[in-house]
Amino acid sequence: MLKYISQVILIVFSVVLGLYLSERIEDRKNDKDAAKLLSRIKSELNENKKLLDKWVPYHREIVEKLDSLSKNEQFVLSFIKDKSTIYKAFSEGTIMSDIPADDTWDIAKSHPLIVNFEYDELLMLSKIYNQQEFTYESIPKLIELMLSKKKNWQIFMVVRCN
């Protein structure tokens, strides 16, 4: 009888030890995968920062050029007649040619490994990506406004001219 009890205890101990080790191995793998995912997010953010460093001076130049052009009565009249005049004025490149990416962040948000991130890291990443989205969501709206048939943009340009 003692022999059977010791065998049962040994089997139970082996099963518990196996489950414990399996869970530890899985936790290690998850931590490693989470670190890899976080590394990819950091890489994506670095690329986005490089892109912003490239575009911030360009956007400042665009604003200055728009201010200058809005005071030019001939340009305003040309723009009112033909909206494509604005593209001719900004032939260096387009505002929409490059925008920051958020693909890795989108994948990470729905990935089960996100639970392995620290709360402060997630909060910071969420704020960064939300600000990034907020900053760039106005560009398509601005282009749509400029090309719309409504007179709002034309009024703005005429008012700026005067």
For tokens 């909206």, name the residue.
Answer: 83
pLDDT class of 160 with cuts at 50, 70, 90: very low
* Residue 161: Cβ-neighbour burial (10 angstroms; 0-12, 13-18, 19+): middle
Work out the pLDDT band at 48, boundaries 50, 70, 90: confident
Nearest of 128, 117, 110, 118 to residue 48 by alpha carbon = 128
Tokens of 139: 């560009």
Across 5-19, 44-58, 136-150, least confident range: 136-150
Q: What is the pTM of this model?
A: 0.48
**For 78-107, what is each residue's pLDDT tens digit?**
777 776 676 666 654 554 456 677 888 888
Distance, in Å, from the CA atom of 73 to the CA atom of 44, rounded to the nearest integer, reads 43
C-alpha 64/C-alpha 71 separation (Å) is 11
SS3 117: coil
Query: What is the per-residue pLDDT for 148?
Result: 64
* Long-range Cβ pairs for the range 40-47 (8 Å, 24+): 40/104, 40/108, 41/104, 41/105, 41/108, 41/125, 43/104, 44/101, 44/102, 44/103, 44/104, 44/105, 45/125, 45/128, 47/100, 47/101
Report the pLDDT averaged over residues 20-44. 90
What do you get for the CA distance between the two ends of the chain, in Å?
A: 104
